[in-house]
A and B are shown apart, each in its own frame.
Chain A
Amino acid sequence: MNSTRTRVWLATLTILAFLGLLVGCSRKSPEDVVVRPLPAPVTPESAPVTIGAILSLTGPASPSGEPQKNIVQMLVEQVNAQGGVLGRPLEVIVRDDESTPAGAVKAANDLIEQGVVAIIGPSTTPSTMPLKDICQEAGVPLIACAAGKTITDPVASYVFAVPQTNTLAVEKCFDYLEKQGIDKVASIYVANPFGEDGRENIAALAAEKGIEIVAVETFGGDDTDMTTQLTKIKAAEPGALICWGTNPGPASVTKDAKTIGLDVPILQSHGVANMKFIELAGEAANGVQLPAGRLIVWEQLADDDPHKDVLREFATTYQEEYGQAPTIFAGYAYDAFWIAVQAITEAGEADRAKVRDAIEQIKDFQGTAGVFNYSAEDHNGLTMDAFVWVKIVDGAWQLAE
C-alpha cells in the first residue's frame, strides 16, 4: 500500500513539475502574456469571409436564440445568392452557448481561433458579459443581441449592441404615465436579466420623475400563477401596473390580473411585442399597452415612413420562410447581421480592427429595432425614436400614436 502511495505521489509530482516547466517556458515568450489577434492568414480570393454567431439554441433562452439562428441562416444564403461580400462568399459559423456564460466563453474562444471577422450575439446579457473582456483583448468586434445596459456602459471599443435598451423603453412608459396623470404605479418583473434590468430602470426613472412605486413584485420564469403577487399589488392601489418580462409569464400576469379584478391600465415591456403574447393571454390581452419597435405594427406605418421598407422586407421574408411573424429577437439578429456585413463592406477588407472602426462609423442605419447611429461614446446607437406606443385592440396590435 505504502509503495503504491509513494509511486502515485512521485508520478503526480512529475506531472506537476512538467506542467510548471511548460508554463514557465510559455511565460518567457511575451506573445502569451496578452492574447493577440492572429496574424491575418493569407487568403485566396475565393476563401469565404467568416462571421461567428453565438446564440442560445438550447436552455432557457432558446425562444430568443432559435429565431435568431433561423434569420442568420436565411440571410447568409441571401447574401451569397447576390455575390457575397467583398467578392468572396460569406460564411457564418453558428454556435450554441446552451444559455450559459461558460458555453459562450468556449464558443468565443473557438470562433476567434477559427478566424472570424466579427461575432454576432450572444442572445443573453449573462452570456455577453464575460465575452466583453475576451473580444476586447482579442480585438474581435462583438455585436450583442442582448439588452443589458452594462454591455455598452462602460463602452469597450470592440463591443456593440443592437437591441433597444430597457432605459429607453421605460422612458416611453413614463411618458404615457405622465400624459395620463398617473402618479402611483406598481411593478412586477420576471426573475431573469431582462426583467431585473427593467426593474432597475423603472425604479431609477420613477425617483427622477417623482412617481411613487407602491409595490414591487417578482415572478419566476417558469411560474404559472401570479395571483399572490397581484393580490398584493391590488391591495396597494396603484394607478397602473408595469410588467417587465418575456413570454409566457407576462401573459399569466395579464390573465391573473383580470381574474382577481385588478382594474388598472397594464403596461408591458417590448419583450412581449409579438403575436404569441396575444395568443397566450387571449381576451385578457385587450387593452394592454406597451412601447414597441415598429416591427409589430409595420403595416400601419404611413407609406412615407422611412422605416417601412426595411420592416416590410424583414417581416415578409421571415413569414414566407418560417410561416410565422418574426419576433423582436429575430430582428436583433437581423440588425446585427446587416451591421456586420455593411461594416465589412465599408472596411474594404476582412480585417477585425478595420471592421470595428467601420461599425463605429455607421450612421442612419435602418434596422428593425430603429435607426442606428453609432459613435465612439454610444455603442448602442438607438434613441427613443426606436419605440412607438402600441395597444392591443380586439386581439391585434394597434399603433396608438
Chain B
Amino acid sequence: MSLTDQIVQYLVTGVSIGAVYGLVGLGLAIIFNATGVINFAQGEFVMLGGMCAVAFTGLGMPLIVAALLSIAVVTAVGLLVERLAIRALPRASIITLIIATIGASFVLKGGAKLLWGPEAVILPSFSGHAPLHIGAAGIDPQRVWVMGVALVSVIGVQLFFKYTLTGKAMQACAINRSAAQLVGININRMVSLSFGLSAALAAIGGIVLTPVTMMRYSQGATFTLTGFLAAVVGGLGNGIGAVVGGIMLGVLEALAGGFVDVATRGLIHSGYSKAIALAVALLILWLRPQGLLGRRERESA
C-alpha cells in the first residue's frame, strides 16, 4: 500500500468515525441550547434506537417500519426523560440537572440490558457489504449511509431553526430565556421539543449505525463522551460546529493512529491515537475557548 493510499484511507475512515461523533454532538447541542444542560442520556438514546430497530425487525417487521417505530419509541422516551428528570426540577442548578440525566441514563441502560441481554446485536446492512472504493481506499457502504444521515441531519436542523416558527422560538429561548418568555414563548414546550427532537435524531443515528458498528446496552456512555467533545470543540450552541468538531476529532484520531509511531520512531505507539486527538482538541479549546465555529462569548458576569 502506497503512502498516498494510506492517507486517503485514513481520511475516509476519519470522516466516517467523525460523522458518528458529530451526529451525537448535534443532539447534545440542541438540548444544551434549550436548557444549558449536557444530557448524559444522549448516548443511551442512540443505543435505544439501534436496539429497538433490532428488536422490531426481529419480530418480522420490514426495516423501514421498524425504523419509524423505533424513532417514535425513542422520541417518547426522550420526552419522558424531560418530563421526569428535568421538568420535575424547576429550580435546580445545572449540575443537579446533569446528575438527573445521568440517573436517567442508568435507568435506560439497565432497562436495555434487562430487555435484550448483555451481548451485542446487529442489523442487516441497508445496501449490501461490497466495499465502495475511493482510489485504493475501501469503505463499507453502510458507513456512507452514516455520513449521509449526519449531513442530512445537520442541514435539516439548520433549516428548522432558521425557517420554521417553532425553530425560531427555540433559538430565541436559547439566546435569552426571560425575553423569550416575555414575548409569549412557552419555555416548557420548547424544552420538551428539544428533548424530543434530539432523541429522534439520536434514534436515527443509532439505526443507521447498528449494521456497521453493532450495538449493545453499555455503549451509550462512549457515544455521549465523544459527542460531547465534538460539540464543545466545534462550538457548543452551533449545530454545524458539532459535526465539524466530530469530523476533526475523527480525522485526527485516524491520522494519529496511522503515523504517530512512525513519526516518533516507535516511541509513542498508535494505541495513544485517541489520547493525541483529545490533547489536540483540548489545546484548540484552550486557544479558542468558544470552539472552532462558536462566536466569542461576551465578557459578562
List residues of A whose CB falls within 8 A of some B CB. Answer: 58-60, 62-63, 66, 191, 216-218, 220, 222, 224-225, 227-229, 231-232, 234-235, 247-248, 251-252, 255-256, 258-261, 276, 279-280, 282-284
Contacts and interface: CB of A to CB of B under 8 A. Distances in A.
Which of A227, A248, A255 has most B Cβ within 10 Å?
A227
Contacts of B122: 279-280, 282
A224 B131 contact: no
A232 B270 CA distance: 10
Nearest to B110: A58
Given A66-B118, A228-B257, A261-B131, A252 B13 contact: no
Nearest to A226: B13
A276 B1 contact: no
A111 to B, nearest CB: 23
Contacts of A261: 131, 138
Interface in B242-275: 253-254, 257-258, 269-271, 273-274
Contacts of A222: 218-219, 222
Given A222-B222, A260-B131, A232 B138 contact: no
Interface stretch (B89-97, B148-156, B209-217): B209-217
B84 interface: no
B117 to A, nearest CB: 7
Contacts of A66: 117-118
A231 B119 contact: no
B9 A60 contact: no
Contacts of A60: 218
B106 to A, nearest CB: 10
Main secondary structure of the interface of A (DSSP, over half): helix
Given A231-B258, A232-B257, A255-B140, A276 B120 contact: yes
B137 interface: yes
A235 B137 CA distance: 12
A276 B13 contact: no
Given A231-B1, A251-B214, A258-B131, 4 more contacts: A58-B113, A255-B212, A276-B120, A280-B122
Q: Top 9 A-B pairs ranked by shortest CB distance?
A: A224-B213, A248-B120, A228-B257, A227-B13, A62-B118, A222-B222, A235-B1, A259-B131, A63-B118
Contacts of A224: 20, 209, 212-214
Nearest to B209: A224
B260 to A, nearest CB: 11
Interface in B189-212: 209, 212
A217 B270 contact: yes
Contact of B254 (A191, A228, A247, A284): A228
Contact of B138 (A59, A260, A282): A260
Interface string B124-141: 000001010000011110
A258 B218 CA distance: 27
Contacts of A58: 113
A187 to B, nearest CB: 13
B16 interface: yes
5 contacts: A224-B213, A228-B14, A247-B120, A260-B138, A280-B214
Contacts of B1: 231, 234-235
A255 B124 CA distance: 13
B10 A231 contact: yes
B207 to A, nearest CB: 15
Nearest to A222: B222
B51 interface: no
Contacts of B57: none
Contact of A218 (B12, B118, B143, B270): B270
Nearest to B12: A227
Contacts of A260: 9, 131, 137-138
B188 interface: no
Contacts of B119: 63, 247, 276
B120 A280 contact: yes
Given A217-B270, A232-B258, A234-B1, A248 B216 contact: yes
Contacts of A251: 120, 214
Contacts of B273: 228
Contacts of B13: 225, 227-228, 231
B17 interface: yes
Interface in B146-176: none
Contact of B271 (A218, A231, A279): A218
